[in-house]
Amino acid sequence: MFGALFQLLFKYRPAVFEQGDFALGAPMSVILIVLLAAALTIPALLTYFRVRGKSTPRDRIVLTVLRGAALLLLMACLFRPMLLLSEAVPRRNFIGVLLDDSRSMRIADRGTGASARTRSDFVRDTLGEKSDLLRQLRKKFQVRLFRFGGSSTRTDSAGGMRYDQRETRLVDAIEAARQDLEAVPLSGLVVVSDGADNAAAEVNDALLALRARAVPVFTVGLGSERFARDIEVQRVEAPRRVLKNGTLVADVIIRQRGFDGETVPLIVEDGGRIVARADILMPAGSDASPVRITAKLSESGARTLTFRIPVQDREQVMENNAQRALVQVRDAREKVLYIEGAPRYEVRFIREAVELDSNIQLVVLQRTADGKFIRLNVDNGDELVAGFPKTRAELYKYTAVVLGDIEASFFTHDQLAMLTDFVSVRGGGLLQLGGRHSFSEGGYAGTPLADAMPFVVEGPAVADSLSFFADLAPSLTPAGFAHAVTQIGTAKLTATEKWKSMPSVTAVNRIKKLKPGAVVLITGNVPVGGRAGMPGETMTRYEQPILAYQRFGRGLAVALAVQDDWQWRMAGSIEIDDLSFQTFWRQLLRWVTSDTPERVEARATPDQVNPKSPVNLRAIVVDSAFLRLNDAKVIAQVTAPSGARSDLPLDWAVERDGEYRAVFTPAEEGVHRVRVTATTSSGVVTDTTYIRAAALDAEYTMAEMRRPLLQRIADETGGRFYTADKISTLPDDIAMTKRGVTVVNQMDLWDMPVIFVLLVGLVSAEWGYRKARGLA
């Protein structure tokens, strides 16, 4: 509507004014004569101010302005203003028309109900062989058609497209078409797409190349910018690895349109078997909802987990209700070192809790007297025979360390620094338990290990008689609500309800301040009849963290700041068959060991691809002290689903110490096993990762038209963005790009209808004013 009105008044479309250059067509002699005549009319205008009669000074000013404006407008017309517009010479220039051939073009979101038409219908109707738009384009240009998805190729017509490609590499397609037409006069490129680019290519680099070569890109956006009713499982974030029989915690992003306030089920399947289910309330006024869900995985190996929401009534897109995650379930035995400063109940009950867990080996070093220790569950007689490890190579054999009630002065400064490096460099897990000789009370302030702890540790060591004391009833924080460690719920009680029913425990370490990156999972409050405070001080209202953690370097530092969590096993209120304590400790030790890397760490990025799509393999190789090695020989042995094996060498990435890379392209569908072997001067180390090659549904993720991307491509290359209903001016707009073989056209402006309207308006206004004031 606006464009039609603008063209009616100003003779040309807005695009003509944007592309044209303003100029005056009258000869210089005519311009000088007009200026001289204008100068002679000035005295005549000034006579308005000398004439008295019935007019007032205000009347004379108004009449002078109206008469002067009319004369100036006439004078401007005599200058013959015009636009100089470079326009492509018909049939001498080329354009490339890129047609999206991906699966998302099958979405029927043009119209409603049974009459809804697909995005591909628009392509066939508008750019088919008998379409008016294609005929107009061919009248002005040599047209080359391309179809693109995961790859870009020439096509003879839009009618032969199948719309079956499972990914869209929009930026790669634009660059490929530009290179294909590099040798001919190119007026521009036209991209007809919904903008669903799901490639890893960087848009900025491609746009820089197009701008450098002055190639304008005209984008045509197809599809609805917002669906009326749809649910999408947009993304799943899950750990790459978990121990067998462990609890997996996954964060799922659910995007919805038109389901405000409705409840839908989220189902997790492992090989068709349901392993978890949760009912999700779609919040009103929020498009994306993060959901955390837990699942227990009991089968080892590479597991493909499906997170899905059943198709709901009247959904526009049914293919985006599921996402898959590839998780490696390891049947490994993680070795944990637990050092305790004195005999206490914790050792007994923690050992009992994990005794039947075949994936956790808890090695105990317990001090029984000064200089005397008992060693439990060691592999051989030499292990820990000299006490706590004194070298990194000895300590780094463990994947986690548990510090019980033991003072900082027990360790040398080098051992404390070594423990800190165990977390930050080796990537191990550190769990410190509460007690009279732990944290600040144990003299850890100012030591290297204080940096790793999630609490601020400050002040001198505290004597037992002056120690803080608090009764704490446990409860979950929002962060702990769905954390893997805290899932001790039963068939009758949720985890939150179960923790509220657990007995109170006691703390003798006062936690004054958390570090900025720390997260509290379980907090404690003084229960009814309990107390908290220093000797001589009693507080009936007090709260402090019970379980908190922070990431520190490559590893994880956790604090369980109570001295008698065994009460959760032995208190009188606990039923004899209640396994909450055992479950909690198994999950706790599994968690602190879950992300601990070995001496070679293999990764595949991405780990799920379409067949024949490249995957980046990366391996980090370190020595026994976990210092990166640049002289290793690294080989990846890839086992395909059919059993076929192939070896792929990984080359050292010169810019990154200890990092080796290769590219692998899976040819078969299914899960590929990648075993990476690194040969170093100190021995051979291995790691295994997995790649899933399958027909992915990435095309239906965020399948609404992505206007911002298409608009950006057009704006930054000098093109224009169109929606499907405003594409009729495309041929004329491309012709004005000043690219290729062009001719300059003179577009007169003096005869624009708006000028006649203004002249009539000014003269009428003067006459009307005179009439109203009685001056006519």
Q: What is the pLDDT of residues 597-621, one digit of tens each?
A: 999 999 999 999 999 899 999 999 9
CATH number of the domain to which 479 belongs: 3.40.50.880
pLDDT digits over 306-325, tens only? 999 999 998 999 999 999 99
Q: Say if residue 347 is in the same domain as residue 427.
A: yes
- Using a 10 angstrom Cβ sphere, with 0-12 exposed, 13-18 middle and 19 or more buried, the burial of residue 463 is exposed
In a domain, 62, yes or no: yes
Q: In whole angstroms, what is the distance from residue 375 CA to residue 361 CA? A: 13
Please state whether the peptide bond connecting residue 708 to the residue before it is cis, i.e. omega within 30 degrees of 0: no
Q: What is the mean pLDDT of residues 233-250?
A: 91
Does residue 242 form part of some domain? no
Q: What is the 3-state secondary structure (H, E, C) of 760-772?
A: HHHHHHHHHHHHH
Cβ-count burial of 379 within 10 angstroms (0-12 exposed, 13-18 middle, 19+ buried)?
A: exposed
Neighbours of 573 (CB within 10 A): 11
In a domain, 386, yes or no: yes
Regarding whether 756 and 608 lie in a shared domain, the answer is no
Last residue of a domain, one of 660, 693, 726: 693
Counting Cα atoms < 13 Å in the Cβ hemisphere of 534 gives 6
**Residue 698 belongs to a domain:** no
* 542 and 656 together in one domain: no
Q: Which residues pair with 633 in a beta bridge?
A: 679
pLDDT given at position 54: 66
Position 631 scores a pLDDT of: 93
Q: Residue 702: left (phi > 0), alpha (psi -120 to 50), or beta? A: left
pLDDT tens track for 99-145: 999 999 999 988 776 678 899 999 999 998 889 999 999 999 999 99
What pLDDT digit, counting tens, does each position of 399-452 carry? 999 999 999 999 999 999 999 999 999 999 999 999 999 999 999 999 999 999
In this structure, are 445 and 408 located in the same domain?
yes
Q: What's the pLDDT score for residue 771? A: 81
Q: How far is CA 400 from CA 99, 335, 428, 543, 557, in A?
A: 55, 7, 5, 29, 10
- Decide the pairing of beta strands 429-433 and 400-403: parallel
Please check the confidence at residue 465 and state whether its pLDDT lies above 60. Answer: no
Q: List the beta bridge partners of residue 556.
A: 429, 551
Q: Hey, what long-range contacts does 277-285 have (CB within 8 A, 24 or more apart)?
A: 280/254, 280/309, 282/231, 282/254, 282/256, 284/260, 285/260
Q: Is residue 46 part of a domain?
A: yes
Q: Which of 356, 374, 357 is nearest to 365 (CA)?
A: 374
Provide the domain count of the chain. 5
The confidence score (pLDDT) of residue 411 equals 96
The verdict on 553 and 420 lying in the same domain is yes
Together in a domain, 80 and 103: no
The closest of 92, 10, 8, 183 to 735, measured between CA atoms, is 92
> What domain range is 114 assigned to?
90-226+704-740
Which of 434, 654, 475, 446 has the alpha carbon at shortest distance from 566? 434
Condensed to tens digits (0 to 9), the pLDDT of residues 291-306 reads 989 899 999 999 999 9
The DSSP 8-state label assigned to residue 624 in this structure reads T
Judge whether residue 195 has pLDDT over 80: yes
User: Within this chain, do residues 267 and 205 fall inside the same structural domain, yes or no?
Assistant: no
Question: Does the structure show a pLDDT above 60 at 51?
Answer: no
Q: pLDDT-based confidence at 639, cuts 50/70/90?
A: very high
- Would residue 241 count as lying in a domain? no
Measured CA to CA in angstroms, residue 117 lies from 109, 124, 340, 556, 578 at distances of 6, 11, 71, 53, 59
Residues 644 and 219: their CA atoms lie apart, in Å, by: 45
What tokens appear for 492 in the block? Answer: 């009758």
User: How confident is the prediction for the chain on average, in pLDDT?
Assistant: 89
Enter the DSSP assignment of 225: S
Are residues 295 and 361 both part of a single domain? no
CA-based radius of gyration for the chain: 38
pLDDT band at 32 (very low <50, low <70, confident <90, very high): confident
Segment 523-532, tens digit of pLDDT? 999 998 888 8
Are residues 424 and 495 both part of a single domain?
Answer: yes
Of the residues 270, 304, 325, which one is the last residue of a structural domain?
Answer: 325
Residue-level pLDDT at 98: 96
Q: Tell me, yes or no, whether 503 and 584 share the same domain.
A: yes
Token digits for 18?
A: 């944007």
Beta-carbon-side half-sphere exposure of residue 314 (alpha carbons within 13 Å): 8
* DSSP-assigned letter for residue 221: E
pTM of the complete model beyond 0.85? no
Which amino acid makes up residue 367?
Answer: R
**pLDDT of res. 592:** 95
733, 133 Cβ separation under 8 angstroms = no
The H-or-E segment that residue 85 falls in is strand 81-88
Q: Decide which of 269 and 25 is more confident.
A: 269
Query: Which of the listed residues 575, 593, 611 is the one where a domain comes to its end?
Result: 593
Neighbours of 449 (CB within 10 A): 23
The SS3 assignment for 726 reads helix
Specify whether the CB–CB gap between 614 and 663 falls below 8 A: yes
Alpha carbon distance 696, 250 (integer Å): 20
Q: Same domain for 716 and 687?
A: no
| pLDDT at residue 1, rounded to an integer | 60
Q: 308: domain CATH number?
A: 2.60.40.10
HSE-CB for 140 with a 13 A CA cutoff: 24
Task: Report pLDDT for 404.
Answer: 96
Instruction: Find the CATH number of the domain harbouring 94.
Output: 3.40.50.410
Q: Any idea what DSSP says for residue 6? A: H
* Neighbouring residues of 359: CB distance < 8 A, sequence distance ≥ 6: 243, 244, 245, 246, 330, 331, 332, 333, 334, 590
Q: What is the DSSP string of 43-78?
A: HHHHHHHH--TT--HHHHHHHHHHHHHHHHHHHHHH
pLDDT in tens, 136-188: 999 999 999 999 998 889 999 888 899 999 888 888 899 899 889 988 999 99
CB atoms < 10 A from the CB of 212, how many? Answer: 8
Segment 501-549, tens digit of pLDDT: 999 999 999 998 999 999 999 999 999 888 888 876 777 788 999 999 9
Q: How far apart are CA 62 and CA 41, in angstroms?
A: 17
User: According to the model, what pLDDT value does residue 534 have?
Assistant: 80
Is 261 in contact with 284 (CB distance < 8 Å)? yes
- Are the C-beta atoms of 340 and 406 separated by less than 8 Å? yes
Q: Please name which of 413, 421, 399 lies closest in space to residue 443, comparing C-alpha atoms.
A: 413
> What is the pLDDT at residue 738?
77
Q: Are residues 462 and 502 in the same domain?
A: yes
**Any domain includes 275:** yes
- The answer to whether residue 243 is domain-embedded is no
Cβ(272)–Cβ(308) below 8 Å: no
Which of 731, 737, 745 is CA-nearest to residue 85? 745
- Nearest 5°: the CA angle 479, 480, 483 is 105
